[in-house]
Chain A
Amino acid sequence: MIAGAKAIHRAPEAVLSPRLTVGVDTVRISEVTESLARFGKKYLDAVFTPHEQASCAGSAEARARGLAARFAAKEATFKALRSADLAGPWTAIEVRRDTGGFTDILLHGRAAEHARRSGLRDLSVSMTHDGELATAIVVAVGDTVSDRLTQFGASSGAIAPGTIVAGREQPCPNR
């Protein structure tokens, strides 16, 4: 406390910061190249949404780099969501790229449901690649513990309103 300043008394929940969780993952780009060669469209459709596939057009190398970074982003998102046993469908987590080239995470179906139950409201992603590796980090912002207790208490255990991740939710595409 700063000398001379008056003590400010607040309720404990008023000074809690929003909850943050983080996930990170790395993928070998050569593994994506192998998967494309072995399974082709079946692999693409099982893991990547049409938007993600369209975002990764270009040379074979650029395509594999982009897809590897997106797979890393999906796994990083699972980690940020604190979902110990959730592994798919991978299309439930979508990396969206806007016209400016920036990326965002959009959740669908089971992943969106899990985020809502966990009180996680927003996600931010950053992806990179260097040499053989593609890496992504995802940060999730959620309600404080006291917020969640208040919301869950007020709704008798039902999922609290106003917790849709990124303000958007859509049915899961593909599988």
Chain B
Amino acid sequence: MSEQVIRQVLAEHAHLSTSIEQLADSSDLYEAGMTSHASVNVMLGLEDAFDIEFPERLLRKSTFASIANIQAALAELDA
């Protein structure tokens, strides 16, 4: 369930040059075309979708580098 929501958020905000369906959970989203600015929108989109707020310690490029990394961060937040 959470993976589907993450993929929806990425499809809407990440501005990927590759179709989200073609990306594996471990695919590097920055290599797939996500800019730093787009990662802000991804963060805000995830916060809205999961009703959470990312704490400062998770505001790192690696947190948003892949679907798997996002899932790990959400699990840490019990989302």
Interface residues of A (CB under 8 A from B): 25, 27-28, 31-32, 34-35, 38-39, 42-43, 46-47, 71, 75, 84-90, 109-110, 172, 175
Question: Which size bracket describes the interface of B in this complex?
Answer: 20 to 34
Q: How far is the CA of A172 from the CA of B57 in the complex (A)?
A: 13
A88 partner, pick from B13, B38, B56, beta carbons under 8 A: B56
C-alpha gap A4/B59 in the complex (Å): 59
- Residues of A within 8 Å of B56, CB to CB, are 88-89, 109-110, 172, 175
Q: Is B72 an interface residue (CB 8 A)?
A: no
Q: How far, in angstroms, from A42 to B35 measured CA to CA in the complex? A: 19
> From A68, which residue of chain B is reached at the shortest CB distance?
B37
Say yes or no: A31 contacts B38, CB within 8 Å: yes
Distance of B57 from chain A, by nearest CB (Å): 9
Using known A-B contacts A32-B37, A47-B40, determine if residue A89 contacts B59 with beta carbons closer than 8 Å. Answer: yes
Q: List 20 A-B contacts (CB under 8 A).
A: A27-B35, A28-B37, A31-B15, A32-B37, A35-B37, A35-B44, A38-B13, A38-B44, A42-B47, A46-B40, A46-B43, A75-B36, A85-B61, A87-B36, A87-B39, A87-B59, A88-B56, A88-B60, A90-B40, A110-B56
Complex Cα gap A31–B13 (Å):
10
Majority-rule SS of B interface residues: helix
> How far, in whole Å, are A27 and B13 apart by their CA atoms in the complex?
15
Beyond A27-B37, A31-B15, whether A42 also contacts B61 by CB under 8 A is no
Q: In the complex the two chains form, is B60's CB within 8 Å of A31's CB?
A: no
B62 within 8 A of A: yes
